[in-house]
Chain A
């Protein structure tokens, strides 16, 4: 009996003596062991993984909804709900057959028409889905377990599109739910994944509960990220939202939660000192910082001004501001793609290597015609990663002679302001900061920020035909070598033209109680095979 239990017993005897009938329900030790209490990275404020594409929604959705394919730890799409697929010799017709016995949480079978409706909704929102939709001639159910997607041109990345882990994933929902407008939120959370969402216990901002789906039939293969057999070894998962990292740290140390998805680096030494806690890198694909420039307005509509930033930028300064003194948490990144993944390249990235050249930066800036006009830098202060980048960038720009108008604001305001194309003096912007999950930056499929197609590009609206040409080359590539060639050329063009400024690559930790086993490293928390003693 620990001290709190002892005190509880003593105090309870005294205090509760007169309140019979108000006693707490007793949870058996077995039941407690079957409940995993998890601290997610953010609040689960909504639960429609197509309507809202925040990572936290995707992570929770992966428990409730299944996908036709899922990428494994080698980033290769593997069959998940699908039993087999067939592609015609001209590459235009894809025919998919579902596994037998798949059921939704309401007990109804998963049918081909559900997949068709779900793919229609997904393809209206997802960048790869939109590409497929543009080629689509027909998407129809052939029978209860088979559906067919007919295209006007081959789309070699079809299986990656259906199995990728970038939001929005192509989650399969019942037809009646999937028919919801993709820009409206669904109101039923019925999937066919390994866990059911307990809507009655959902307190947005505080708690979300998932219970094991007894009728889920896992694949026979070993689980690997979103692929393989998703075997649930706990009966119930409680997501507990804690906005304060110090409280989260104390709760983990006290055994009030079992797994904290992303402890901040400052608190990791404290957690490491506790023998009941394990700490490790959570996602080996990490994150890439984003120092985003507005290509529409001076000075950054001139490539020389953009290159000036690259010449002066010291990635170590940025990364240390984000992760602190822990060298294992960051790497220099002379490019745009995730280190350690098959397509990683440093082609064209020399300007980001070696000693920083402030004089070159000043010269490039002068050549661009910059004469000390205010540069509006919008910095969200409520996001530690953007705040750190903003603080360092402000000093950097001052060092090369720029006149910085530092706008300290919050993420909600940044989200609105970055969408404005008006000149900075009329409410627009020159610079804002963000970061991208490394899992999104392994290839151009889900990497919205690397696109440079002008008006349709991500905020900053770069218009660089060479970058787009190489993106297309990657989508058309028939094999890994062709993909690598395209990405090398893409990286070179993106650095030369400075689509955005990459301040570096950084990792984050995850931490869990030592009685929890089976936690794997990956781009999202995978709960299958996780057990609690």
Chain B
């Protein structure tokens, strides 16, 4: 197992190298000019050109790429063109809100979606099943920002139960931290809940047809034991796969959710950096997201071994 983990981690290096080359090349050929944004709307073309030169944006592709690779090799993601702050510092400022949002979303989604999927499979064809699947269709169909606005209107503006926006670090207390995350996590989690609930239902329905389930029932085991201990454990592998894939959904959804709820996370940093063409920040963030995704996939593969003893590395 240890050798497998090390091998997988080493395998991320060529993946990251390809991502790095791809991102850098894409940004190089993409239109846009950070110098023009910095100089402001009233700046003359000469001013813009001088700023471009001072930022080194007039240098050839290979020189800029070589410098960037050399920086990365020293674990230095560079400096933001706009803020003058190191990219690692910008990421460090923003990573806690995004991780918090993702973790709370994940917890809410799994705790709601898995029981929903199990229930729908158990009561397949009934009104309960149809209601749950109807909810799943709704979750898939309604955009995150619409859910976000509705939640903010009802629970923040009308009922005054929760704040509209912002983020409070966990270090300032559990409830202040959580109260800022409840609405965005529900908004972001809707698609995720729908996805997990549907997959759980489908795999559970397949498992519930198996002979060993019939045997378990014949032995007189309780419904709960049959569903959650025997059936769910065997249906877990596809569900875990979807949860892992869903992390990419969460990263994408976080961009919108963080904007709607004014959460200062990596999603907003990404959008701001793209709109301003802050190349070092965009490159650093894409590398980070790729790395996270590779790690999540690794974690998913390892979790398989916990739920299915037949899987060994």
Instruction: Kindly state whether residue B165 has any CB partner on chain A within 8 Å.
Output: yes
Cα A458 to Cα B42 with chains together (Å): 8
Cα A415 to Cα B175 with chains together (Å): 44
* Interfacial chain B residues near A12, Cβ < 8 Å: 173, 175
Chain B 153-176, CB-CB to A under 8 Å as 1, else 0, gives: 100110111111110101111111
Cα A207 to Cα B268 with chains together (Å): 13
- Measured CB to CB, the closest approach of chain B to A444, in angstroms, equals 13
A256 lies within 8 A of B40 (CB): no
A440 lies within 8 A of B42 (CB): yes
Cα A254 to Cα B157 with chains together (Å): 6
B164 lies within 8 A of A254 (CB): yes
Interface residues on A, range: 35 or more
* Interfacial chain B residues near A125, Cβ < 8 Å: 47
A45 lies within 8 A of B272 (CB): yes
Cα A242 to Cα B161 with chains together (Å): 21
Instruction: Kindly state whether residue B38 has any CB partner on chain A within 8 Å.
Output: yes
List the B residue with the shortest CB-CB distance to A43.
Answer: B272
* Interfacial chain B residues near A301, Cβ < 8 Å: none
A250 lies within 8 A of B45 (CB): no
B44 lies within 8 A of A458 (CB): yes
Instruction: Kindly state whether residue B48 has any CB partner on chain A within 8 Å.
Output: yes
B interface, by DSSP: helix, strand, loop or mixed? helix
Instruction: Kindly state whether residue A357 has any CB partner on chain B within 8 Å.
Output: no
B160 lies within 8 A of A2 (CB): yes
Chain B 101-134, CB-CB to A under 8 Å as 1, else 0, gives: 0000000000000000000000000000000000
Cβ 8 A contact of B44, one of A7, A55, A254, A456 = A456
A45 lies within 8 A of B40 (CB): no
> Which residues A10-32 have CB closer than 8 A to chain B?
11-12, 15-16, 19, 22-25
B32 lies within 8 A of A251 (CB): no
Cα A129 to Cα B162 with chains together (Å): 51
* Interfacial chain A residues near B54, Cβ < 8 Å: 181, 183-184
Given contacts A24-B168, A254-B164, contact A446 B42 (CB under 8 A): yes
> Which residues B239-268 have CB closer than 8 A to chain A?
259-262, 264, 268
Cα A57 to Cα B38 with chains together (Å): 10
A415 lies within 8 A of B33 (CB): yes
Cβ 8 A contact of A417, one of B31, B42, B47, B264 = B31
A183 lies within 8 A of B276 (CB): no
Instruction: Kindly state whether residue B152 has any CB partner on chain A within 8 Å.
Output: yes
Instruction: Kindly state whether residue B198 has any CB partner on chain A within 8 Å.
Output: no
List the B residue with the shortest CB-CB distance to A39.
Answer: B262
A254 lies within 8 A of B45 (CB): no
Given contacts A7-B161, A184-B54, A207-B264, contact A51 B175 (CB under 8 A): no
Instruction: Kindly state whether residue A52 has any CB partner on chain B within 8 Å.
Output: yes
Cβ 8 A contact of A46, one of B83, B157, B262, B277 = B83
Instruction: Kindly state whether residue A142 has any CB partner on chain B within 8 Å.
Output: no
B175 lies within 8 A of A16 (CB): yes
For B46, B152, B153, which residue has the most chain A Cβ atoms within 10 angstroms? B152
Stretch at the interface among A63-71, A151-159, A404-412, A464-472: A404-412
Chain A 406-448, CB-CB to B under 8 Å as 1, else 0, gives: 0001111101111100000000000000101000100000101
Instruction: Kindly state whether residue B179 has any CB partner on chain A within 8 Å.
Output: yes
* Interfacial chain A residues near B261, Cβ < 8 Å: 247
Stretch at the interface among A97-105, A198-206, A389-397, A510-518: A198-206
A416 lies within 8 A of B36 (CB): yes
Pairs A–B under 8 Å by Cβ, sample size 6: A242-B165, A248-B262, A250-B152, A251-B262, A412-B34, A419-B49
Q: Beyond the given A19-B174, A416-B33, A448-B44, please list 5 additional residue pairs across the A-B interface where CB-CB is below 8 A.
A: A19-B173, A167-B40, A206-B268, A244-B262, A254-B160
